[in-house]
């Protein structure tokens, strides 16, 4: 697979990626889709809590279902996606998720909505998201040159953060106006919008030629060998995976605290969520400059080291001024998380040989998102035993230590990170690397 940047895209070098037509189409579709996703992420657990009166354990199981797919199909998804056109994978899975979310308001209208259906919707949406995300992160290097990856990831993250700022507030208002089940319909419509823009993308890398000796398990092993055989990628996987574990543990019980124990309205909950998105926007705007000023390696571990302890605010929140402190902590935390994410995702994309992009992304997703259903399940169990606040405290302490794998790796002091250079080798361990200066 080679870069599909065409001669007609050359103005992008003069005017940035805003002048890149296909990138703009991807960006527009994703921005609106993210608006709907923010509404859905708020509405779905509130459907369980406020409409179906689900228990703490059931809410934890629902959260686990949303990410369980990364464990079940995470690894083979990379090999399967590499056998298909990335654009087609994006289009199909946008349509699938639109149908799944549309089933929630339909079931409520017919009076047959159950917690079991929410489990199915969350799980099936998770499977679809696995394929979408693997294809999405593998498609970007096909649309733009590799020296534009940080810019591309930063712009996409910035637009995502803008939608996250307004999305939860919009979601809270829609939930109060329409009810949580019907607010989910906004998410379904956003995926239809995204599908329309993905369909308009003109850059279409050729479908990989089928090889007679292709073997799924061998291809999965090759992706695992590339990621686990690289000390820097192992450190990133350990850092992100542990952070996701404890964040999911907290996320499984946070809505119980805010909606049930503190009795906050959906609008207020959405407003608190919006402050975290402001931090995400700040992180997206400063990520490239942070990497230039302190170096690409420190731009990973320092932001995540600052972000982790911010989670220790949530266990001590009450219905008073501490809600403002929680909002401020969310802002700082998400600034650091987004700087870390943009830096590490861009590094992974630049390091990987083109033919392994799908499997590398799938392997990393398996390793770092596979911890999320475990964290969500533990959150539900612990929330039912030691209490919601005790669970949040335990998750905050664990998340504060997530930066250690990157700190203790060669990434710690690297100003420039290595990138892939040269033809694709038969053995991924033979890939040529450049730019590994410290």
- Which top CATH class is 17-201+216-422? mainly alpha
- Matching residue, tokens 């700040």: 282
Q: What is the pTM of this model?
A: 0.68
Comparing CA positions, the residue from 12, 29, 10 lying closest to residue 20 is 12
* Residue partners of 111: CB distance under 8 A and separation at least 6: none
The string of DSSP letters for 206-264 reads: PPPPP-TT--HHHHHHHHHHHHHT-HHHHHHHHHHHHHHHHHHHHHHHHHIIIIIIS--
* Residue partners of 255: CB distance under 8 A and separation at least 6: 45, 46, 49, 59, 269
Per-residue pLDDT of the chain (438 residues; tens, 9 = 90+): 334 444 334 444 455 676 777 887 877 777 777 776 677 777 788 888 888 888 878 887 887 787 777 777 777 777 777 777 778 888 888 899 899 999 999 998 898 989 999 999 988 988 888 888 777 767 777 777 766 776 777 777 666 656 655 666 666 777 777 777 887 888 888 889 888 888 888 766 666 565 556 667 777 888 888 888 889 999 999 999 999 999 989 988 888 888 888 888 877 887 777 777 778 778 878 888 888 888 888 988 999 999 999 999 999 999 888 888 998 998 999 899 989 988 888 888 778 787 777 778 778 878 887 788 889 889 988 988 999 999 999 999 999 999 999 999 988 888 777 676 554 444 434 444 444 433
Token reading at 407: 């700190």
List, for residues 165-216, the tens digit of each pLDDT value.
566 666 677 777 777 788 788 888 888 988 888 888 876 666 656 555 666 7
pLDDT of 397 reads: 95
Measured in degrees and rounded to the nearest 5, phi and psi for residue 437 equal: -65, 150
List, for residues 119-143, the tens digit of each pLDDT value.
999 889 888 888 887 777 677 777 7
């Amino acid at each position: 697979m080679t870069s599909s940047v065409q001669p007609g895209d050359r103005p992008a070098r003069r005017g940035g990626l805003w002048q890149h037509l296909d990138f703009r189409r991807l960006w527009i579709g994703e921005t609106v889709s993210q608006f709907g996703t923010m509404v859905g992420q708020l509405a779905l657990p509130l459907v369980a809590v406020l409409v179906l009166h689900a228990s703490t354990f059931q809410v934890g199981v629902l959260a686990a279902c949303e990410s369980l797919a990364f464990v079940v199909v995470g690894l083979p998804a990379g090999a399967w996606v590499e056998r298909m056109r990335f654009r087609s994978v994006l289009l199909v899975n946008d349509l699938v998720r639109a149908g799944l979310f549309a089933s929630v308001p339909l079931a409520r209208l017919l009076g047959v909505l159950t917690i079991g259906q929410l489990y199915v919707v969350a799980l099936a949406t998770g499977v679809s998201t696995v394929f979408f995300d693997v294809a999405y992160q593998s498609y970007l290097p096909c649309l733009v040159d590799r020296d534009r990856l940080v810019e591309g990831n930063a712009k996409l993250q910035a637009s995502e953060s803008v939608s996250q700022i307004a999305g939860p507030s919009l979601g809270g208002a829609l939930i109060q106006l329409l009810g949580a089940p019907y607010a989910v319909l906004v998410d379904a419509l956003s995926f239809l919008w995204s599908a329309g823009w993905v369909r308009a993308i003109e850059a279409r890398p050729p479908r990989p030629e089928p090889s007679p000796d292709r073997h799924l398990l061998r291809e999965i092993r090759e992706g695992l060998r590339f990621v686990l055989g690289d000390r820097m990628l192992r450190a990133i996987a350990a850092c992100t995976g542990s952070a996701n574990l404890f964040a999911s543990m907290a996320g499984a019980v946070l809505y119980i605290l805010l909606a049930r124990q503190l009795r906050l309205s959906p609008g207020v909950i959405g407003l608190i969520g919006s402050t975290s998105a402001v931090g995400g926007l700040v992180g997206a705007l400063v990520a490239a400059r942070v990497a230039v000023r302190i170096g690409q390696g420190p731009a990973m571990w320092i932001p995540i080291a600052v972000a982790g302890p911010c989670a220790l605010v949530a266990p001590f929140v009450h219905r008073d001024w501490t809600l403002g402190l929680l909002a401020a902590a969310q802002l700082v935390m998400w600034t650091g998380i987004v700087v870390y994410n943009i830096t590490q995702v861009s590094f992974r994309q630049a390091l990987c040989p083109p033919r392994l992009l799908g499997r590398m992304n799938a392997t990393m997703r398996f390793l770092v998102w596979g911890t999320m259903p475990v964290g969500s399940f533990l959150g539900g169990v612990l929330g039912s035993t030691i209490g919601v606040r005790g669970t949040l405290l335990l998750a905050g302490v664990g998340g504060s230590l997530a930066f250690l794998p990157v700190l203790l790796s060669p990434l710690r002091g690297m100003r420039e990170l290595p990138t892939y250079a040269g033809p694709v080798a038969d053995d991924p361990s033979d890939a040529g690397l450049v730019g590994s200066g410290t």
